[in-house]
Structure 1
Amino acid sequence: MKKVLAGLTLLFNVNAMSASWQITFPQPLETTSTIDEYPIQVLALALDQTGVKYQLKPSENLLSKAKALGRLQDNREINIVWGMTNTQREKDLLPIRIPIFKGLIGWRLLLIRQDMAERFKYIQELEHLVKLSPLQGRDWPDTKILQSNGFDVITERSQSALMRMLRNAQGDFFPRSIIEVWEELAKSKPQPAIQIQPTLGIRYPAAIYFFVNKNSVPLASLIEKGLEKAIKNGKFDALFIEHYKSYIDKAQIENRTFYTLKNTFLPEKTPLERKELWFDGSISAAALP
């Protein structure tokens, strides 16, 4: 039996190396942020580590996150998606359990209107913040996380609609991750002014994974193998730092109070014990390229 398994493994490796992998990812509805450029580079890095031939291309149709997840589950049009994990997504799809943003997606700064700045100065504990109403996407996993921590969340379908609601005082603040907030703020309309609240933030454990169809085990194994190799040789961290060190520096994490929220929707198999996979609030000198 062991010889048979070894033979099958060898056959898979040979076939994987000789095949040309066609990988189609969803083309997002909104292009207000370059956040989707980084996962494509991570995916290319992982595949490069394996030595296979591959082609990455966007879907022909523009897809919302919800529609992309549905298409992937049905094995139509696309064969990979990246998104925040939760228990249901891991039931519907096959996750590659390496957080490609090192959990930085769960470090949130607060977009507020300028006329709310004075009120935020009086927030001294989480209970004070919970009395205010955050804005979040209707089908975003973050929405349930905030609700389960006691927030009365106001939702809309798209990021642009949520920014408009914030400007129109239809919510009190819009939590955005460190990797998103700077570009979104730069592209927001100046009147009434929106700013990043300078002293506070929220954080919760959150992982964005690559997901593939349940039947795409060979593709998942290939990507996981490449990611693990890139983590081991330092290329994964180098790419992360290249993209996000400047954002982390701008956030001035050391000068903020971050209120920690519980994420009860995090699946049991989330690799929280692997400290090398998670951003811990600082970038060590040893990790710098």
Structure 2
Amino acid sequence: MAYLYVPQSKAVDSFIINHSESANDFRYEYTYALLQLVIEATQADFGEANLQVSSVVMSRNRQLRALESGEVINIMAEAANTEWNDKLLPVYIPIRKGVQGFRVFIITQNNAEKLSHVKSLEQLMQFPTGSGSQWTTKIAMQQAGFNVVESTHYDSLFNMLSKERFITFGRGVNEAFQEVTAYQKLYPQLMLDEHLVLHIPLATYFYVSPNQPRLAERVRVGLERIISNGKFDQFFYQHHCDFLRQSKLNQRVVLKIDNPLVSEQQMTSIVGQEFLLDPKSDFASLCQPYQ
């Protein structure tokens, strides 16, 4: 959906972003903080703004409906999705540099030995894998040939994994370490596989209500501004380098599948290919300037 907004005067903009799905769900903290940085970077020309987190917890499909109306929430950072691209105002800047497409596996201790011998997609697909029912990565894995076991509830997936309803649970490297720490309290048998990384091209974009073109334009302008002045990279690496270093991605077996819902060309249309991360990079060296 195309949009263009040229600010005519300064106004107080109200950004209402989604609530996390549970007390153990830390996935959106980065996007809340990034949006605040965008607001600050655009204050001189767009004026004052306030940012609030909705009190309503919603499923992915309900979030889409809420964004369409723009009442309960009017902005959300979400994995790229063709339906969301069509119905909302996407800002095509991948705000996580594609890192959430580097999927490492939360498993149980019982299955660590099995995973350590996997060297190909065919071997990995022998193990049932878990996913949220409305996640973009679910469709990518299903089309690649994985046996995907689904749940509509985020917390339930960790319970199902602990009971070995599925064997692997692929999570973005930006998510996995926090989740293992949080859920080991309930399920001490959970651990992170150290052998594999499944690369699924994935972009997180800010999606804005179609009723709020001014907000969409403000986000685009703000993101481009902080990318240009270096504040974005400083912010991104400060939030991700601990996970990137711990993951040792360049020492893992890297397997890749296509994502039919994500255009890699679209991901780089504004920022260029060099903006995205490569899972084979040495992140210990890459992160050194941001320590």
> Which of 129, 134, 142 in structure 1 is aligned with 2:137?
142
Q: Which one has the largest radius of gyration?
A: 1
Identity rate of aligned residues, in percent? 27
- Output the TM-score relative to the length of structure 1: 0.90
The aligned counterpart of 2:167 is 172
Q: Is the 8 A contact 2:20 2:26 kept in 1?
A: no
Structure 1 vs Structure 2 CA RMSD: 2.0
**Cα displacement string for residues 55-74 of structure 1 (whole angstroms, at most 9, x for unaligned residues):** 00011322233222211112
Q: Is the 8 A contact 1:28 1:64 kept in 2?
A: no
Please give the alpha-carbon distance, in whole angstroms, between the structure 1 residues aligned to 2:56 and 2:162.
30
Q: Is the 8 A contact 2:137 2:259 kept in 1?
A: no
Letter in 1 for 2:148: V
Q: Is the 8 A contact 1:237 1:287 kept in 2?
A: no
> Which of 34, 49, 52 in structure 2 is aligned with 1:54?
49
Letter in 2 for 1:124: K
Please give the alpha-carbon distance, in whole angstroms, between the structure 1 residues aligned to 2:159 and 2:34.
32
Moved more, 220-229 or 270-279: 270-279
Does 2:261 align with 1:256? Answer: no
The aligned counterpart of 2:60 is 65
Give the deviation of 1:105 after TM superposition: 0.7
The aligned counterpart of 2:29 is 37
> Which of 75, 88, 93 in structure 2 is aligned with 1:98?
93
Give the deviation of 1:23 after TM superposition: 0.9
Does 2:7 align with 1:13? Answer: yes
Letter in 1 for 2:145: G
Q: Is the 8 A contact 2:69 2:211 kept in 1?
A: no
> Which of 235, 238, 241 in structure 1 is aligned with 2:237?
241
- Output the TM-score relative to the length of structure 2: 0.89
Structure 1: runs of 5 or more not aligned? 1-7
Q: For the structure 1 residues 287 and 99, does the alpha-carbon distance in structure 2 shift closer, same or farther, using more than 3 Å as the test? A: farther
Give the deviation of 1:87 after TM superposition: 1.1
**Cα displacement string for residues 134-160 of structure 1 (whole angstroms, at most 9, x for unaligned residues):** 000011111001001110100011221
Q: Is the 8 A contact 2:149 2:166 kept in 1?
A: yes
Query: How do 1:91-240 and structure 2 match up within 5 A?
Result: 91-189=86-184, 191=187, 193-240=189-236
The aligned counterpart of 1:277 is 275
> Which of 274, 287, 290 in structure 2 is aligned with 1:288?
290
Letter in 2 for 1:43: L
SS in 2 for 1:244: helix
Give the deviation of 1:88 after TM superposition: 1.2
Q: For the structure 1 residues 48 and 156, does the alpha-carbon distance in structure 2 shift closer, same or farther, using more than 3 Å as the test? A: same
Q: Is the 8 A contact 1:137 1:158 kept in 2?
A: yes
Please give the alpha-carbon distance, in whole angstroms, between the structure 1 residues aligned to 2:124 and 2:199.
13
Give the deviation of 1:133 after TM superposition: 0.7
Q: Is the 8 A contact 1:87 1:267 kept in 2?
A: no
Q: Is the 8 A contact 2:16 2:74 kept in 1?
A: yes
- How many residues align? The count is 278
The aligned counterpart of 1:4 is none
Please give the alpha-carbon distance, in whole angstroms, between the structure 2 residues aligned to 1:235 and 1:180.
22
Moved more, 260-269 or 210-219: 260-269
SS in 2 for 1:62: coil
Letter in 2 for 1:25: I
Please give the alpha-carbon distance, in whole angstroms, between the structure 1 residues aligned to 2:67 and 2:175.
25
SS in 2 for 1:83: strand
Moved more, 259-268 or 103-112: 259-268
Please give the alpha-carbon distance, in whole angstroms, between the structure 2 residues aligned to 1:286 and 1:248.
12
SS in 2 for 1:179: helix
Please give the alpha-carbon distance, in whole angstroms, between the structure 1 residues aligned to 2:196 and 2:103.
9
The aligned counterpart of 1:28 is 20
Letter in 2 for 1:278: L
Moved more, 69-78 or 108-117: 69-78
